[in-house]
Amino acid sequence: MRELGCSGSSAVKFRWVDALSRDQAGNIKGGHMRYEGLRSAISSLDGVKGGCTAAFFDLDNTILDMHTMILFARYLSDLARVSDDQVSTMLAAVKDAERAGATREQTNGIFFSVLRGLSEEEYLHLGSQWWEQAEKKFVEPILREFELLKAHDVPVVAVSGSYSCCVRPIIQSLGMTAGFGSEPEISSGLLTGKVRVPLVGEQKKAQLLEYLKSHAGLSSSTLAYGDHPSDFPMLSAASRACFVHSGSTDAETLLYVQSRGWRVVTV
């Protein structure tokens, strides 16, 4: 049996008293636990009738303690597929745009500039290769909730602004039901260095709704997780939402989250 300790009111810190039981392959056991046990462990389910039908997760700084786009770009530099100067110039452009008030929808496209000239096949292969060797870091309280949901056969879906080539191996290794990332623009089989679909902000909400539309019966009691204002549209589209609060969260963001009555997990 697993117990969950928590403190605080709207912002709660979770302390997992013992680990989930796993088999020798590292898979979670204990799926026989009643849904009431899941509800008591995940307070976002309070008041949701009929159980959780689907859960949607942002990746970076939500379930992963990683900035996957930066790490992937630096990996390409390590492989000499792009130069250190290209990566540094790209990251500086992102910072300059942020200081100028650009939204994440706008800065997301800048990250794709270093991918210009890669073939689609290379793009996908390098994403898998990067994840295989990456130092994998997780936001433990959210990972635990993800594992509980998955153990109860709840569909778990990633909706991330990261490179789609990175999202694909991540969802495969975590055993997620499905996953979506930002898609590059491709012309004549080569990446142009621009983003075709930046999966940020309203696009995240649209992806959630599109998934629910194509999977009948999942829309009644949904749950969504995110860590940034660009996740707000997706969180707003779910029945219940959980916001991951870290030291980088500003007061205005936290105030809005609390005004919506969303659960806050402080990490």
Domain boundaries, the chain: 17-66+137-186+197-266, 68-131
What are the start-end ranges of the E strands in 142-205? Answer: 156-163, 178-187, 190-197
Is residue 146 scored above 70 in pLDDT? yes
Residue 49 region, left (φ>0) first, then alpha (ψ -120 to 50), else beta? Answer: beta
Q: How many CB atoms lie within 10 A of CB 262?
A: 20
The pLDDT value given to residue 4: 25
Helix (H/G/I), strand (E/B), else coil: 85: helix
Q: pLDDT tens digits, residue range 67-90?
A: 999 999 999 999 999 999 999 999
Q: Is the pLDDT of residue 260 over 80?
A: yes
Q: What is the pTM of this model?
A: 0.84
Q: Position of tokens 């491709």?
A: 186
- The region of weakest confidence among 92-96, 102-106, 109-113, 123-127 is 102-106
Assess whether pLDDT exceeds 90 at residue 99.
yes
3-state secondary structure of 101: coil
Mean pLDDT for 170-187 is 98
| Maximal C-alpha separation, the chain | 55
Give tens-digit pLDDT for 24-63.
443 333 333 334 556 655 766 654 445 799 999 999 999 9
pLDDT, tens digit, for every residue of 226-252? 999 999 999 999 999 999 999 889 999
pLDDT at 51: 75
Per the structure block, which two tokens stand in for 43? Answer: 């307070």
Look-up: residue for tokens 């910072």? 95
- Tell me yes or no: is domain 17-66+137-186+197-266 CATH 3.40.50.2300: no
